[in-house]
Amino acid sequence: MDLRTRLGKEWLFCDGGTGTILQEKGLKGGELPETWNLTRPEDIKAVARAYFDAGCNIVNTNTFGANSFKYDNVTEVVTAAVRLCQEARHEAGRDDDAYVAIDIGPTGKLLAPMGDLPFNDAVKVFSEVIRAGAEAGGDLVLIETMSDSYEAKAAVIAAHETCDLPVIVTTVYDESGKLLTGGSVEGTVAMLEGLKVNAIGVNCGFGPDKMIPIVKRLAACCSLPIVVNPNAGLPRTEGNRTVFDVGPEEFSSIMKEIASLGVHVMGGCCGTTPAHMAALIKEVSPLPFKEPVRKHGTYVTSFSECVEIGPKPVIIGERINPTGKKRFKQALRDNDVDYILTEGLKQEEAGAHILDVNVGLPEIDEPSMMENIVFKLQSVTTLPLQLDTTNIEALERGMRIYNGKPMINSVNGKREVIEAVMPLVAKYGGVLVGLPLDEDGIPATSDGRIAVAKKIYEAADEYGIPRDDIVIDGLAMTISSDSTSAIATLDTVRRIRDEYNGHSILGVSNISFGLPARELINSHFLTMAMQNGLSCAIINPCNDHMMASYRAYCALMNKDPQCLGFIGAYSEYKSDGTFGGASSGASGAAAASGTGGAKLSLAEAIERGVTGRAAEAMEESIAQGCEPLEIINAELIPALDKVGQGFEKGTVFLPQLLMSADAAKAAFEVVKKAMAGKPRQVKGKVILATVKGDIHDIGKNIVKVMLENYGYDVIDLGKDVPPETIVEAAIKDDVKVVGLSALMTTTVVSMEETIKLLRVKKPDTKVVVGGAVMTQEYADQIGADAYSKDAMQTVRYCDEVFGV
Amino acid sequence: MPLGVKIPEKEVRRYMGLRGPVDISPDTDAMIKKAINALEKDCSPKHVSRAFPVTVEGNEVRFADVVIESRSLARNLAGCTQCVLFAATAGPFCDMLVKRASVTSSAYASCCQAAGAAAIEAYCDLINDKIKDEYEAKGLFARPRFSPGYGDLPLENQKDWFRLLDITRNTGIELTGSLLMVPTKSVTAIIGLSPDRLPCVRQGCESCTMSAACTFSRKE
């Protein structure tokens, strides 16, 4: 019988440990267990046979680590493993009721941005294994021991894209219920359910007793069959041996207790044996079986955060969007990623729960930009994202590499749009915003909007997207052109809650377009909408009025226990309307902007490293009609130089230099804003990169800030950059200077390779190198043009090359 | 899960290149404290360790199935009968904090970077002390910990640590192709255990061959 029809309908049992049994049979410390599929097939078959004989229904192939990072002959190793498992099943007489699981473990590599393995490469590596397993006749894909939800996502996508076998995923949590990468039980379940796996569970980690609290949490949020495969206790070393202390009897009695928590598939992991499984099956199979129950939570997640929609209104930051923002458009055209990230971080500090990401501009490559910004944002913020685009390719690329379960903005009632967007949500998972408009336009009344909403819900049913994952937009439109429009919107929001038990969302500020004092209308409208059941508000969280409405509403409606959130935000509130420290500044910058800078000149503010004042002084000068370039040359650069000279002489230390650099950067940002859309004057273009194999880039980042302050246009290629990429970039923009950084002797090799390749392909480009192990001598040895011991020297060197 | 150990501010300042009692602005001082607080609160440190018998003959050190030729390690382990290999990480939070700060403030990024370095050292000291106490009770005395990449012990030997301790699975540390560890605030080390109590052997910078050239070296 097909496994899908049995999962969640009756008790099923996985196998126990493999690695630990092979060690008993003589597998050595560093020996790869999967090699035995070819060298000692009888031993491998015997392990599987013992598990089939013990009564297990789902037995793993010996392929846990069989990937191309460890094997050149993956297909051969995997095919042999599947065949051995099938033979064991046949010999055990279990062909009719037991399944061969293609076992997939972690690659052993960390995925980018944390590590160096790109997401789509991980998908490829998993695909190779799964394809071989499926072609050899495996019955399901069992993805296990995942401690990073992102890697689990890569494996699931690989499974769905290479075969149509059922997929089970089990992950490893620590005692606090977190994955190694910080994900929670609830967030992991939300993401995996969105990815349409067939069962979800836990394995390995520690002994069965310690798993109980985690299983309880799983059972509370998971709508799919739940799998529990613990170790036989914590591993311990005795001499050179690893031993486990929980015997079959103890194991099975704790598992019996776990079975009653609402679990559907049980088995074991490290240290468990066929005897453990036989005891487990004897204890558990007579127990009454409870089918999984559909839960109704709506979760948007990142790799570590999990935002629930429903219990209280969710704030979605709207600032990552070029509409009507010259400076933002300029940043998109210049690929100024840091500016966009800063917009995100500011909103996070101001209290956003989710960030909307809209990077569409006709003249840019939106799909690449979306992918890049999603990736970069997820490397600096833990907030979940809302991918906001009408470009389907941009949407798919963003959803694919997104780490977690995103929000999607949006679908509407048009058939064509439904057919483009919903398959993506069905594949990758996501909480989908539905705009109640269709081929006939935007209905003016709530009746009309509810009718379209109904159509969207029904389409979701059709695509297998749970209605819980649909959020209907009430469509806020300005009251300045139709004074009944707020009423229609509020009615829609309320009826979605009352008639559909559904969730709603609004782009709140649209309501006041064309009016003065928009924040007054917006903030009151927000309160009214929340009172009518609004689930998600897309607003500018840096606007004090908006956040005041939100916090006051939560305090008044018992959604802010002991009013702690409100008190925390407004303890410094003055009745003249100044809001105190609730929502100012970006991280780090906030700490630097403070003390006593009120009357400093621009030069003084930079010398003393007072970021806030430096920006303000620049604004004042521009407001007085001074020419920005004039201010830069007469005040900013000389101040920066003074600090730089102090640093070179050893009287100023690195932190002070960096504080000044930050202050200058803030002043520059003001200039950029003032000059957005106009051509910029730059001294020259410089490429910076941390070389292939190296991931330590803080030094390079400091050099970047300094060069930018001194008027250079920096092309920052990031870290772990292959020589070819650097050379290509140098040729493309005819760049005169390339700066390379490397931390360790092991990566200086790639520095040398990069220089050699540059010499061949782009001989007129100068190379300046730096990094912890670099010395002048070492730099000469690898053929660099110059060595810089710090950021200031790099600036001086570039000034020399560019003759400024 | 918090770091579980205090990050010494003095060490953070040293990693930032501040030598001695340098007068820094209150803003910088506040940033250092902010970085320390953030890391003490949000790090999720992990470690794994395992003991092996060890033999030292000349410059050749043997434990488990590993044979290492290293003068400095052999000196460190002279007289030892046992050793403990360990790996520790402050977790991925610190790397993210540095990356995040790099976007908004390079000064704060350097504070976080330095605080992270001090955090993993403090965490290693904690584990080191536990190991030391555990074995002293059994009559074995710990030598200062020693890491691959130190002295003439090649970084290449990281691979042995990763294999023998199953570090990736146990702690989430990955060893990249270029032998660097991710998260970056991670350490692998060996602690020799000897039946003889030695007079206090000087630790860290003083025993490192790179000490003279190193910017961060402890020296007055």
pLDDT single digits (tens) A305-318: 999 999 999 999 99
Position A575 pLDDT exceeds 90: no
- Please report the pLDDT score of residue A594 as a whole number: 42
Position B174 pLDDT exceeds 60: yes
Alpha carbons A420 and A411: distance in angstroms, whole number: 9
Q: Is B64 on the interface with A (CB under 8 A)?
A: yes
Domain residue ranges in chain A: 11-284, 475-569, 590-674, 684-802
Which one has a higher pLDDT value, A579 or B155? B155
Verify cis geometry, omega within 30 degrees of 0, for the bond prior to B183: yes
Nearest CA distance, B104 vs chain A (angstrom):
6
Kindly state whether residue B68 falls inside one of the protein's structural domains: yes
Contact A12, A55 (CB under 8 A): no
Kindly state whether residue B14 falls inside one of the protein's structural domains: yes
Which of A72-86, A482-496, A646-660, B68-82 has the least mean pLDDT? A646-660
Nearest to B100 among A147, A380, A702 (CB): A380
Match 């127990």 to its residue by tokens: A287
Q: In this complex, do A588 and B105 lie within 8 Å of one another by their Cβ atoms?
A: yes
Position B145 pLDDT exceeds 70: yes
The domain of B33 spans: 9-212
pLDDT band with cut points at 50, 70 and 90 for residue B17: confident
Phi, psi for A597 (deg, rounded to 5): -95, 10
Cα separations in angstroms, B125 against A374, A804, B114, B204: 38, 50, 17, 12
Residue A18, C-beta contacts closer than 8 angstroms, at least 6 positions apart: A33, A47, A60, A62, A64
Position A131 pLDDT exceeds 70: yes
Q: Read out DSSP for B131-186?
A: HHHHHHTTT-EEPPPB-TTSTT--GGGHHHHHHHHTHHHHH--EE-TTS-EESSSE
pLDDT tens sequence across B23-48: 777 888 899 999 999 999 999 899 99
**What is the CATH classification number for the domain harbouring B205?**
3.40.109.40
Position A590 pLDDT exceeds 60: no
Nearest CA distance, B166 vs chain A (angstrom):
9
Nearest to A655 among B16, B34, B44 (CB): B16
Q: What is the mean pLDDT of residues B65-71?
A: 93
Q: How many CB atoms lie within 10 A of CB B166?
A: 16
- Please report the pLDDT score of residue A587 as a whole number: 38
CATH number of A11-284: 3.20.20.330
Nearest to A609 among B22, B27, B96 (CB): B27
Amino acid at B48: V
pTM: predicted TM-score of the whole model, two decimal places: 0.90
- Please report the pLDDT score of residue A212 as a whole number: 94
pLDDT band with cut points at 50, 70 and 90 for residue A236: confident
Q: Tokens standing for A437?
A: 């408009």
Q: What is the mean pLDDT of residues A499-503?
A: 97
Nearest CA distance, A51 vs chain B (angstrom):
25
Nearest residue to A591 (alpha-carbon basis) of B113, B8, B118, B35 = B35
Position A498 pLDDT exceeds 60: yes
Alpha carbons A736 and A714: distance in angstroms, whole number: 12
Q: How many CB atoms lie within 10 A of CB A528?
A: 17
pLDDT band with cut points at 50, 70 and 90 for residue A657: confident
Rg of chain B (C-alpha set):
18
Angle at B53 between CA B52 and CA B55, to 5 degrees: 130
Nearest CA distance, A353 vs chain B (angstrom):
17
Alpha carbons B34 and A599: distance in angstroms, whole number: 26
- Please report the pLDDT score of residue A593 as a whole number: 42
Q: What is the mean pLDDT of residues A151-166?
A: 98
- Please report the pLDDT score of residue A755 as a whole number: 95
Measured in Å, how far apart are chain A's first and last C-alpha atoms?
78
Say what the alpha-carbon torsion angle A194, A200, A205, A211 is, to the nearest 10 degrees: 110
The correct CATH number of A590-674 out of 1.10.1240.10, 1.10.287.610, 1.20.1250.20, 3.40.50.880 is 1.10.1240.10
Say what the alpha-carbon torsion angle A119, A100, A162, A78 is, to the nearest 10 degrees: 70
Q: What is the mean pLDDT of residues A475-489?
A: 96
Residue A26, C-beta contacts closer than 8 angstroms, at least 6 positions apart: none
Which one has a higher pLDDT value, B205 or A380? A380
Kindly give the pairing relationship between strand A306-308 and strand A299-301.
antiparallel
- Please report the pLDDT score of residue B220 as a whole number: 42
Q: In this complex, do A695 and B104 lie within 8 Å of one another by their Cβ atoms?
A: no
Q: What average pLDDT is seen over chain A? A: 92
Which ranges of A594-675 does DSSP label H, i.e. alpha helix?
A: 602-608, 611-623, 628-631, 637-649, 654-674
Give the residue on A whose Cα is nearest the Cα of B49. A237
Alpha carbons A204 and A231: distance in angstroms, whole number: 5
Q: Is B213 on the interface with A (CB under 8 A)?
A: yes
Burial of B215 (0-12, 13-18, 19+ CB in 10 A): exposed
Nearest to A701 among B16, B92, B102 (CB): B102
3-state SS assignment for residue B55: strand
- Please report the pLDDT score of residue B216 as a whole number: 61
Give the orientation angle of helix B106-136 with respect to helix B93-104, to 10 degrees: 160
Contact A574, A592 (CB under 8 A): no
Position A92 pLDDT exceeds 90: yes
Which of A585-594, A694-703, A757-766, B109-118 has the least mean pLDDT? A585-594
3-state SS assignment for residue B21: coil
DSSP, res A110: P
Contact A788, A759 (CB under 8 A): no
Which one has a higher pLDDT value, B29 or A469? A469
Q: What is the mean pLDDT of residues B181-187?
A: 94
Match 């209290």 to its residue by tokens: A351
Cα separations in angstroms, B169 against A135, A205, A337, B52, B133: 29, 10, 34, 20, 27
Q: What is the mean pLDDT of residues A609-638?
A: 89
Size of interface A-B (CB pairs under 8 A): 181
Alpha carbons A796 and A647: distance in angstroms, whole number: 13
Q: What is the largest CA-CA distance in chain A?
A: 90
Contact A609, B107 (CB under 8 A): yes
Which one has a higher pLDDT value, A226 or A743? A226
User: In percent, how much of chain A has pLDDT > 90?
Assistant: 77
Give the residue on B whose Cα is nearest the Cα of A341. B103
Structurally, how many domains does chain B consist of? 1
pLDDT tens sequence across A268-305: 999 999 999 999 999 999 999 999 999 999 999 999 99
3-state SS assignment for residue A431: strand
Nearest CA distance, A137 vs chain B (angstrom):
29
Angle at A25 between CA A22 and CA A28, to 5 degrees: 70
- Please report the pLDDT score of residue A174 as a whole number: 86
Nearest residue to A318 (alpha-carbon basis) of A449, A402, A409 = A409
Identify all chain A residues contacting B1, using CB atoms and an 8 Å cutoff: 174, 176, 178
Q: What is the ipTM of this complex?
A: 0.83
Q: What is the mean pLDDT of residues A65-72?
A: 94
Phi, psi for A767 (deg, rounded to 5): -120, 125
Position A105 pLDDT exceeds 50: yes
Q: Is B92 on the interface with A (CB under 8 A)?
A: yes
Contact B119, B113 (CB under 8 A): no
Position A786 pLDDT exceeds 70: yes
Kindly give the pairing relationship between strand A385-388 and strand A737-741.
unpaired
Which of A37-51, A205-219, A301-315 has the least mean pLDDT? A205-219
Which CATH superfamily includes the segment(s) A684-802? Cobalamin-binding domain (3.40.50.280)
Identify all chain A residues contacting B101, using CB atoms and an 8 Å cutoff: 587-588
3-state SS assignment for residue B16: coil
Position A418 pLDDT exceeds 90: yes
Most B CBs within 10 Å, among A339, A349, A380, A706, to test the B interface: A380
Angle at A734 between CA A733 and CA A736, to 5 degrees: 120
Position A582 pLDDT exceeds 50: no
Q: Read out DSSP for A257-301?
A: HHHTTT--EE---TT--HHHHHHHHHHHTTSPP---------EEE
Kindly state whether residue B190 falls inside one of the protein's structural domains: yes
Nearest residue to B60 (alpha-carbon basis) of B38, B75, B82, B42 = B75
Match 């999607």 to its residue by tokens: A408
Residue A119, C-beta contacts closer than 8 angstroms, at least 6 positions apart: A111, A112, A150, A154, A400, A401
